[in-house]
């Protein structure tokens, strides 16, 4: 890990210096999960990571859970039929959550490249297209997809 992160300075270097032994590093597989619709059974609804956990590469998992709760609260307050509200809520969130999960996985896949040619291609793309990719992602997020 020290070798792979040697080129990074600042907080990453300080973190690595603080590791005393390999036992101080937790390594696990990164997983995602997508509960099929509906996300509810009657008046019980699953939101956030319970319904649509994504990989951590974009830091969007918590954001999606917060969005769920912020969007759901007024729908619950206005509802006279929670089961129907919950079914409609899941259907309305599914595409956006799938999009975020897909993009996060793509970012992680790109970051995991190790072969020199793959690393060079990724780095060149980041230099020439990286900001446009980020802008495109957030444009779609702000458009409400």
The model carries a pTM of 0.79
Phi, psi dihedral angles at 125 (to 5 degrees):
-65, -45
Task: Using DSSP bridges, classify how beta strands 44-45 and 40-41 pair: parallel, antiparallel or unpaired.
Answer: antiparallel
pLDDT at 120 over 90: yes
pLDDT at 1 over 80: no
Residue 89 confidence (pLDDT):
97
CATH for 31-142 is: 3.50.50.60
Q: What is the pLDDT of residues 62-74, one digit of tens each?
A: 999 999 999 999 9
Residue 12 confidence (pLDDT):
78
Q: What is the pLDDT of residues 11-67, one digit of tens each?
A: 878 877 777 677 767 778 888 999 999 999 999 999 999 999 999 998 898 999 999
Structural domain boundaries in the chain: 31-142
């Amino acid at each position: 890990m020290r070798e792979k992160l040697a080129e990074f300075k600042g907080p990453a270097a300080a973190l690595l210096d603080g590791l005393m032994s390999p036992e101080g590093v937790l390594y696990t597989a990164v997983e995602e999960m997508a509960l099929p619709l509906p996300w509810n059974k009657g008046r019980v609804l699953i939101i956030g990571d319970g319904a649509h956990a994504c990989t951590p590469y974009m830091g969007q998992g918590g954001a999606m859970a917060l969005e769920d709760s912020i969007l759901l609260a007024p729908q619950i307050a206005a509802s006279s039929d929670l089961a129907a509200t919950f079914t409609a809520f899941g259907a309305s969130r599914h595409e956006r959550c799938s999009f975020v999960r897909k993009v996060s996985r793509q970012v992680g896949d790109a970051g995991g490249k190790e072969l020199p040619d793959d690393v060079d291609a990724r780095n060149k793309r980041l230099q020439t297209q990286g900001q446009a990719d980020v802008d495109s992602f957030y444009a779609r997020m702000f458009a409400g997809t």
